[in-house]
Every structure is written in C-alpha cells, then in structure tokens.
Amino acid sequence: MKAIVTPQWLQDSVKSGRLLPYGSYVAIRDLEDETSRNQDTSSGSSFYSRSGAERESSWQTEQDELIDATEVELLLHNAKYSCLRPSPLVCPNQSLVKEIDIIRRGRNIEGEERSMLSYSRAISLTPHVITEHNIQDLRKLPFLGEKILSMIEEFLKTGRITEAQKMLADPRFQSLSAFTTIHGIGPHTARRLYDLGLRTLEELERYYEVKPGVSDEETMSLLDAAASANTEAAVEQSINIGLALRHDLSQTIPREEVEEINRTIMRELSHIQKGCKSVIAGGYRRGKPQSNDVDIVITHTDWNLGSQKVKGLCKKLVQRLHEQGFVTHVMHLSGFHKHNALRTHHWDSLEKALTVFVWRHDSSRRRVHRRVDLIFAAPEVFWTAVVGWTGSTMFERDLRLWAKQQKGMKFDSSGISRRHDSKLYHPRTERDVFKVLGLVYIHPTLRNADA
C-alpha cells in the first residue's frame, strides 16, 4: 500500500530540506498505521502500480486525489526538466521568485525569448530554502548562471534585486505590461502600439474607439468558422472585446464559481449530447484559490464512438450557451482537423472555443464577465488534452522537450506520437500519459513550475 499524505507534507519537506516522517500528515486516518510503515518501504518499486491504475478509472477526474508520497520520493529537485521535479503552488523561495519574475516579464515583453527562457528556468527550480549559508549549493543546479546567482546573493542581502526594481519603475515596462493584460495583445502588438505613441489603457480605448464596459460587438459569428480564424480582423475584434470588458476580465474567479460555471456548462451540454464528461484544467487544477480564467476539457465516455459524438459539439454548445444568455462573446472558434503524418506540428484533434461567459440576470448575483475556454477532445486524446491544458507553462514546455529529446516523441495537448513513424498513442488515464512518456506521475498541484 502507498503512503497517502496531505499536500502540506511536501511543502514542509521542501522547507526543511529533507523528507519528513509521514505520521503527522496522514490523509486517511483509517490507514494511519500502514502509512507510517510505508516510510520504511523501498522507493525502488514501480511508480505505476496496479493500485494506482485501479484508483483512476478511464473517466475519473481525480480532482481530490491526494499526493502519493512514494511518487514524490522518486522526483529529483536538481533535474534538468521541470517535469521531473515537484513544484508546489508556493515554493520555499516565493519572494525571491517574484523578484526574478519581474525581470522575466521584462525580457518577455521586449521579445528577448532566449533571455526570458533563462529566467523562466531559474524560477522553475524550487530547492530547499535558500540562505547565505547554502547558496553555493545552487551552483550544482541547472540553468543558474553567474548573473542569476549574483542576483540571488543580492536578494539575500537586501531583500531586493536592483535590476527588477529599476524595471518596475520604467515607464516603458509599465505601459507594455499593462497592454499585454488585454486578451489579444501579445508582446509584439504591445510594442507596436507603444511605438505609435500610446502609453495607457485609456489611450488604447480611444485608439480602438472602445467604451469601457460596453462592447458593441455582441459576439463573433458563431456559425461561421472562418470568422474566428486567426485573421487580422479577428484579432482586432478580440482586442476590442478584451479592452471593453477589461475591468471585469481582470477580476479573479474563486474556486466555487469555477465549479459552478463547469456545472452550468455541462448541464447545458446534456441537452445536446448525453454521456459527456469534463475536467476543469488550468490553475484551478493546480490548486490555485483564484483563477484568471476557466479551462474546461470535455469528452464523451464512449471510447469507441466518442470521437464521432463530440465532433461539432463545441460550436453547438457555444450556440446554445449564447442563446441561453451565458456566452456574450466568442474570441476564437476552431474545429477538428484530421491527422496528417507529414505535418510538422500535431494535427488539431481538439475543438476549441475561447468565450466570454456571464451569469444571466439575477438579482442575487453580480453580473461579471469571465473568460471561459472550452476544449473538446476525442476520448483517445482526452487525458493528453487534460495534461496539456493543466500547465504550468514551463512544465508544459519541458514535457514537450523531454518527449522530443529523451523519447523521440511529439507531445502537446492534441496528442502523443512517435517521431520516426508517426505512431499514435492513446492513453486511457492521466497516469498513462506520464507512463507513455517514461515519467513518474506528478500530481497536478505539483506542476506549478512558474512564478
């Protein structure tokens, strides 16, 4: 039997720099004796045991699955890839991470991709608590060059990093950072708008002729797929919507509301197609108490016929949600494409709708617009989609790198395939995704490899 502990065990173990005894962190009191005895069992046993597989049925979401301590013991804090390391929501050096993240954001909005990646990788490392006494141990970790090490030393002495503080005070950084908070505006577009002389969101509103809180474009054409293609007009429309609703969309969403949005959407979907199941992905699944948006991955439980049953469902669901008053805007809508072995990237085995959701008029509820992304996946790529949409960004990047560099595979939310012959893999559980990639399973709440 495996040791089932609460997430606090990992957080306290990381802080102390060693694996703590399980006794004080037992998650299931009826198994307290067995959990304590498991402290002495060998960690060399297979991480993908039958009990683990049986615990997760084909369509079980395991939102409340507890961290398996024996799996955590197999993870490596000094590994090159973040998909080999445990990354809790709050790392033991969170204040330092936030300071380094300011510089990462600055590199990102200036289009300095390689430098941005260096800081992202440094942030993803979460060893024991860093002090002036053990800082030399960091030299053994990957991706920490002399420049970043000197910044860490400065932070330990002063509680600040000079470059980060200068960046925060820089008017250009402030403007570009504000611009990129609007959906549809990436770093390149932000710099273009800045070069036009725009400096504030209010100036952006005047430039795009947008009234705060009012979107004249009620929605993009829901039935015309071409209208939501990545065209310049579609991007412009998305920016208009993001600007008009920015005050609402900038508000975070508590977990209870995320769950209620999911229940509402699945209830509406049941009127169109019975037998569908969903998993709430994104930051919610990684344990965040507040989400910036809601990512819902949906499939059908029929393994054999499910791919046919979900085909075209995305557009039908969005249409119904719009008619019922739940969806006011669609920023993107895309459908399935067949697999083509000659394509450089994965075929798109997902249907996606990036929408703006709002509760219908109700005197007891405040009417706030929320970003809700709907992802429909065929059953054979459902769990790959769940892993791909759970994140975090660096964790997903390293999953793709690991698959390519170590396993000769392609991995993304659309599926897993072997590079030399395009063989497709169809995991039936989330643990299967990790097993196919030759990885120890990492609990969703330990995939927070970003600031």
- Report pTM: 0.83
Look over the chain and give the mean of its residue pLDDT values, rounded to a whole number. 84
Pairing relationship of beta strands 294-300 and 276-280 according to DSSP bridges:
antiparallel
Q: Which residue did the predictor score with more confidence, 264 or 26?
A: 264
Number of Cβ within 10 Å of residue 160's Cβ equals 12
DSSP H or E segment with residue 295? strand 294-300
Average pLDDT, stretch 113-141?
A: 89
Q: What are phi and psi of 241, to 5 degrees?
A: -65, -45
Cβ(388)–Cβ(413) below 8 Å: yes
- The pair of structure tokens assigned to 25 is 């962190």
CA–CA separation, 48 vs 26, rounded Å?
21
329: β partners: 356
pLDDT (0 to 100) of residue 59: 46
Q: Which helix (H) or strand (E) holds 147?
A: helix 146-158
Name the architecture of domain 94-169.
Answer: Orthogonal Bundle (1.10)
Query: What is the pLDDT at residue 45?
Result: 28
pLDDT: which is higher, 342 or 436: 436
The sign of the CA dihedral 193, 196, 198, 203 is negative
Q: Which CATH class is domain 251-446?
A: alpha beta
pLDDT on residue 182: 95
**Are the C-beta atoms of 180 and 187 separated by less than 8 Å?**
yes
pLDDT tens digits for range 198-234: 999 999 999 999 988 766 555 544 444 444 455 777 7
- SS3 category, 308: helix
- Tens digits of per-residue pLDDT, 374-420? 999 999 999 999 999 999 999 999 999 999 999 999 999 999 999 99
What percent of the chain clears pLDDT 70, i.e. is strictly above it? 78
Q: Closest Cα to residue 176, out of 160, 196, 161?
A: 196
| Confidence band for 134, pLDDT divided at 50, 70 and 90 | confident
* Percentage of the chain modeled with pLDDT above 90: 66
Domain boundaries, given as residue ranges, for the chain: 4-74, 94-169, 171-248, 251-446
Q: Tell me which of 96-110, 236-250, 374-388 is least confident.
A: 236-250
In this prediction, residues 277-294 reach a mean pLDDT of 97
**More confident call, 114 vs 38:** 114
What is the mean pLDDT of the segment spanning 345-371?
Answer: 81
- Within 216-254, where are the H helices? 232-244, 246-249
Which residues lie closer than 8 Å to 189 by C-beta, 6 or more apart? Answer: 179, 239
Decide if pLDDT at 123 tops 60: yes
pLDDT in tens, 154-208: 999 999 999 999 999 999 999 999 999 999 999 999 999 999 999 999 999 999 9
DSSP, residue by residue, 86-99: -B-SS-TTHHHHHH
What is the spatial distance between Cα 411 and Cα 403, in angstroms, rounded to a whole number? Answer: 6
Average pLDDT over every residue of 88-109: 95
* Residue 360 confidence (pLDDT): 85
